[in-house]
Structure formats: C-alpha cells, structure tokens
Structure 1
C-alpha cells in the first residue's frame, strides 16, 4: 500500500494527491493518514508547495464524498423506513427509529458533518447519513470542505514537521480509526440489546 501511494504521488504530483484522496473516500482502507503526511514530507524536500498540495487533497476528498452522499440520497429516508419496518425487527430497528435519527440530523447535521470530517474512522462515512437525511448539497459541501481542509492541513503540516518519520502519523492514527469503528459497532450492539430488554419488560 505505502509503495503504491508513494509511486502514485511521485509520478502524478498534485494530481496523484487528489486521486489518492478521492479513492480514500470511496475505499476507506486507503489511509489519508499516510497520503497527506507523505505530501508534507515531499513539501519539506522542496518538491511540492504547501497550499497546492492541501488544495489537491481537499478537492480529491470532496469529489470522493459526493458518491456516498448521492447513494444516501438515492436510498432516502422513506425507503429506509420501509426496509426497517420490513426487516428491522431482526435488529430491533423500526421506521420510528429512522425518523428520530433523521430529526436529530435535521437539527445537528451541519455540526455532525463538520466534526466527523475530523474524526478518523467515520470521516468517510458521514456522507451517507447526510444524503439519507436529505441534507441540502450546499451546506453539506460547505461544512465538509471546512472540516476536510482542517484535517488535510493538519496531516500535511504534521508530515512536514516529522520529515522522514512521516509514517508515524499513520502508525499512531491508524489504530485510532479501528478503535472508533469498533466503538461505534459496540455502541450499536448495546443500543439494540437495551431496546430488546425494554421491549421485553413492556410485554411482561
């Protein structure tokens, strides 16, 4: 993976950064925690400029976020409700739960999009609920771009400071992505278990 990322960036320059960050949003196993710090190291070697590298990373990320956003739009809240009513009983999810989640996103969606863009493990996933909830494209793009710019800028600057040790960023942040993802799965399982226990108590 690292060799492929390095070769892509070396051969394609800024276009390579944009392409890699685009693919990172479509296929999360490709780590931005390695791409942008490598760009920062390349900047330290005077082979790239700081702001064009960040711009390429942001553009690639935003282009990669749009497919998931439109998948969410395509699925939509109503279809999700129908699926929940039809199959959701197996995991204790109903159309009412979907509606509650959608109402929450209507109130806090802009903040959620912004802050999730700064969180490893969920930054690529937030586009899906944004699309499902019917969040308008312009606010989605604005808050995503601001959060993404901060994230990409931080990773690039860290790689610039670390120099040849830029891989330490991925070494330390990589496990964070896994922990966040596992934490979300555990929280979801706990929520399902509590819902089932509550339903059982009601039936007694």
Structure 2
C-alpha cells in the first residue's frame, strides 16, 4: 500500500527550490516505488544541480512511511549512484585523452603543462579521488570523467564508486528515515557543507587564474 507523503509547504527563495525538487522526487517514488529513488539519484549524478542532499533523506523518509523498505531505499539509491557515475565514466572514455588535450589547448589560461600535472596527480591519487570524491558535493559527478579519460580499470572504478556511494547514501537515507517528517533538517547542514566546498573551489580557481596571469606577464616582460 502506497502512502501519500505530505511535505511541509515551502514558499520563498531556496525553500521554494527545495520544495520543487522534493515534490518531483516524491512523485517519482510514489509512481514507481524505490526504483524511483534510484532513478532520481542517477539523474542527480548526470545533472549535479539536482541535490542528492534532498533526494536521499526523502528516500529515507519515504521508507519510514512504509512505501518501501529501508534496504530497498539504500539498494536503489546506491545502484542509481553507480549507474550515473558509470555513464559519466563512459563519457570520459569517449572523450579520450587526445581529444581532451586538443580541447584544453584551445582554452585560455590553460596549457598542456597543467594537463600533464593533473594527469600525473590523478595517476598517483586516482583511486582515493574516486572513493572520497563520491562524498563531496559537485565532485561526486565530475570525478567520474577523468577516471574514464585515464582509463581506470572499469571494475576498480565501479567498486570504488559503490563503496563511496554506499557510505554517502547511507548517512543521508538513514538520517531521513529516523528524522521522519523533519528530514529537511539534513539538507540545511548539507547545504552549509556544499557552500564551503564551493568557496574552496572558487578560491582555488582564483589562485589559478591570478598565477597564470602573472606567469603570462612575466613572459611578456622577458620577451
């Protein structure tokens, strides 16, 4: 028996966006059950603006209402994470190293030395990057593409993705399951973490741009 979920009304700003995503996710879960949660998470991997921090607690909350079991919520959301990551891995494989380097060569402020440095770093730390990257907003999706470009063994990639995703998904699904109708509290804390990640990324990019501009200026003065 399917129980219709009544979510708290959310009217303005971020709350309006949260309410829209929540309504969409609930509709998916009510229509096709636990596989709907998996499909929502697979789409979240392909379209990072869809927040797993909303979908996963909702899956736990839905399980707590008896629409499906907690095991099904964990199984299908983790399966969705692996499938979404695998599709992005395939995108990296199709893109390939040579094509990626040609595209980067046309980008401003980026040269192939930077690409070589990133490749060397990924070859040294790629396994850790894939595993821990599954627990970091934004990078959850992006880390799959370089893994494909660098042709990380597919079963190794899938195993690391499965392990990392299971940890991340379990935290949020279990939180939603035990918090019940207060599931949205999880999103508030996750949103703070995501904002911190974005700030760090912006600072790193700013440092990169400034250092590249200075390097170009030094080359011009030298010539």
TM-score scaled to structure 2, two decimals?
Answer: 0.83
| 1:150 equivalenced with 2:180 (yes/no) | no
Asked if the contact 1:81–1:94 (Cα under 8 Å) also holds between the matched residues in 2, the reply is: no
Cα displacement (A) at 1:188: 1.8
Partner of 2:3: none
**Paired residue total:** 201
Q: How does 1:1-204 map to 2 (within 5 A)?
A: 1-85=21-105, 87-88=106-107, 90-91=108-109, 93-201=110-218, 203-204=221-222
Q: Larger RCO: Structure 1 or Structure 2 (Cα < 8 Å, ≥ 6 residues apart)?
A: 1
Q: Give the Å deviation of 1:191.
A: 1.1
TM-score using structure 1 length: 0.90
5+ residue gaps, structure 2, are 1-20
Structure 2: how far apart are the matches of 1:75 and 1:201? 34
Given that 2:22 and 2:58 are in contact with CA atoms closer than 8 Å, whether structure 1 keeps it comes out as no
Residue 178 of structure 1: CA displacement?
4.0
